[in-house]
Structure 1
Amino acid sequence: MVRDTAADPQRAAAAVDELARLGVAALTGEYHSVVARAAAVRADALGLPFLCSSAVLDTLTEEPTEWVARLSPPQSRGWQLYADFLLGAGHSRIAIAAQPSVYWASGVRVLRDHLAPRGGTVIELDTRALTPTAVCDELVDNRATALLLLVGHPEPAVSIVKAVRRDRRLAAIMIGAPAGQPEFAEWGTLLGDDGTAIPFLRYLPERLSPLGARVETALRERLAEAPSFVAFEGYDTVAVLADVLRSHGTDRARIAESWPRVAVEGTRGRIHFSRTPGISVWQWVWPPIQVVDRDPAEPDRFRILHAG
């Protein structure tokens, strides 16, 4: 059974209620962190197992829960790795173009907490109050060497990238997008060469396992394009849930009790869940993380810049 949350937390909560009434054994999916949190909170309240595939917000539920497990790494780990990449690349004055959101605010906090003790300065720019041109002026005035896009895709992200790329004063500035907007084919279609050399986080190993290579071939044929890292997260989610259902049946309580006993070979490594300090759900520790960008010489090719 499939329900489209349409990136809306209220629709997600309503979908959880509906599916629970229909008697499903478990839930899986969700890409948007704020929407996943709404689904996780509701699933926890109803005692419905939820295997989250792609949302990274550290706090999916306010209190520790036995009902929710997650494959994607928590935001704090990925974004700290991204902060290390920025420092290693020589960036200590970092501007952030942000929109109001629990997810973006959490990302800003992770970056500031990790960068400040290491001599980094974080300058927040509110995109509600600034046009893309005004963002460029702020970057010049603040002597920023890097701009991070903590905004929605395609807009205002695309307009900001175009404005910065066309501003001669900012020829040397690095644009980054830790949340992964440049991963998707639409990014390249909308921005062309302007969308290259923008580092972002993705959750893939340097080399896929033999299973991962087979899945990549199958997905490429089915999608008629290279699969994103989110496709591998989706495949691994289905593989884990199928294994759990085969081993423990469809009783909801038994499924939730099985999270710490999962041992499944996924496309990106062997998957186990455990308890992690500061994380309220069962967590795969750890999925591989990379900082990559699109190669200006070959925009469909990704360059690995940093890994952890």
Structure 2
Amino acid sequence: MSSMVTQVRSVRIGALVPLTRPGWVEAGRHLLAGLELAVREVNDAGGIVGRPLELVARDTAADPQRAAAAVDELARLGVVAVAGEYHSVVARAAAARADALGLPFLCSSAVLDALTEEPTQWVARLAPAQSHGWQIYADFLLGAGHTRIAVAAEPSVYWASGARILRDHLAPRGGTVIELDMRALTPTAVCDELVDHRATALLLLVGHPEPAVPIVRSVRRDPRLAEIMMGAPAGQPEFAEWAMLLGDDGAGIPFLRYLPEHLTPLGARVGTALRERLGEVPSFVAFEGYDTVVVLADALRSHGADGARTAESWSRVAVDGTRGRIRFSRVPGISVWQWAWPPIQVVDRDPAEPARFRILHAG
């Protein structure tokens, strides 16, 4: 009997996720959970015109070359699109490779403005561009009365871009950005610099857990800096590991997250399912993963399991995600098809209850 059963060929999409160090493993786990949950639900609802959707995941480990090689491998495996990635520099390498191969890439969670060097039809993005989100963060700083802002920065295109966005936005509004080079400074030396420069805020433009966690501990223990505000626009305090490593010291550090004040009805249901899957409160990254598959499944159902037709359909996407209605457009200065814009909040962990988040500002 089994010989008479015809195996229905799956529709494959590739997923790039950081699942090992030095990648941000917790972000990768949340991103993958969102992707996997959505794939399961698509298949429970009949798949892609009767064909099952299959996710082929590859670990990027925050390595751009590894990501580019994974895109090549996924293309050989016959995926109709590539999705995911959290780290901006890694997503940029993946986008360049996908563009060169003519393979659609829907970037879930990386924000670097220049995701590709030249405008491309093959790449679309759900996360907001860094310039948009970090300008909202700069407005929050000004609103809170901070005009002398130090940034503890490591060398990377992403951190350098963030520092430039902050400087360009704050300078005309009376703000000063003081850059502290973390290649040359210990966490204790950072404290001395903050005192010398009379900074009222310190932004952590550095990796997690090193050196972000030691910097936070040093600043919290320095009586000269009792009044300083620390911030982390890249979102390090979003994840449970931050609270586990820092406890009360990790509270009151504002960061960007891409959630609305109230999730859509779909988002509320998905949030419950993600919490069960993860065993903890899902981050915005998990919702980004889910929404990625919602978009791709809609495009594949509407235009067929063909990469070129998927790429041609970015401008016609209009689908309800967990955080609102998703549409893509061409935004000045952004080289890819962009959801403009996902909801953006500045939040922190409540010092009175570090497991709870407080919304401080919305953009």
TM-score range, shorter chain: over 0.9
Structure 1: state its 5+ residue gaps.
Answer: none
> How high is the sequence identity, in percent, across the aligned residues?
85
Residue in 1 that maps onto 2:131: 76
Q: State how 1:1-308 maps to structure 2 within 5 Å.
A: 1-308=56-363
What's the CA shift for 1:221? 1.2
How many Å apart are 1:212 and its aligned residue? 0.6
Cα offsets for 1:90-141 (capped at 9, x unmatched):
0000000000000000000000000000000000001110000000000000
Measure how far apart 1:302 and its partner are.
Answer: 0.5
Q: Matched residue pairs, number?
A: 308
- TM value normalised by structure 1: 0.99
Q: State the Cα distance separating 1:224 from its structure 2 match.
A: 1.2
Give how far 1:11 is off.
0.1
Distance 2:289 2:353 in 1: 27
Cα offsets for 1:131-178 (capped at 9, x unmatched): 000000000000000000000000000000000000000000000000
CA positional deviation for 1:222:
1.4
Give the C-alpha shift of residue 223 in structure 1. Answer: 1.1
Kindly name which structure, 1 or 2, has the bigger radius of gyration based on alpha carbons: 2
SS of the residue corresponding to residue 234 of structure 1 reads helix
Q: Aligned AA for 1:149?
A: L
Stretches (4+) displaced over 3 A:
none
RMSD over equivalenced CA pairs, Å: 0.5
**In structure 1, what residue type is equivalent to 2:124?**
A
Aligned equivalents of 2:277, 2:105: Cα separation in 1: 27
Structure 2 SS opposite 1:250:
coil
Distance 2:107 2:301 in 1: 19
Cα distance in 1, alignment partners of residues 323 and 113 from structure 2 = 21
1:21 Cα deviation after fit: 1.5
For normalisation by structure 2, the TM-score amounts to 0.84
Residue 23 of structure 1 aligns to a residue whose secondary structure is coil
Q: Aligned to 1:292, what secondary structure does the other structure show?
A: strand
Secondary structure, counterpart of 2:60 in structure 1? coil
Structure 2 counterpart of 1:7, one-letter code: A
Amino acid aligned to 1:209: T
Supply the distance in 2 between the matched residues of 1:116 and 1:2 (Cα, whole angstroms).
43
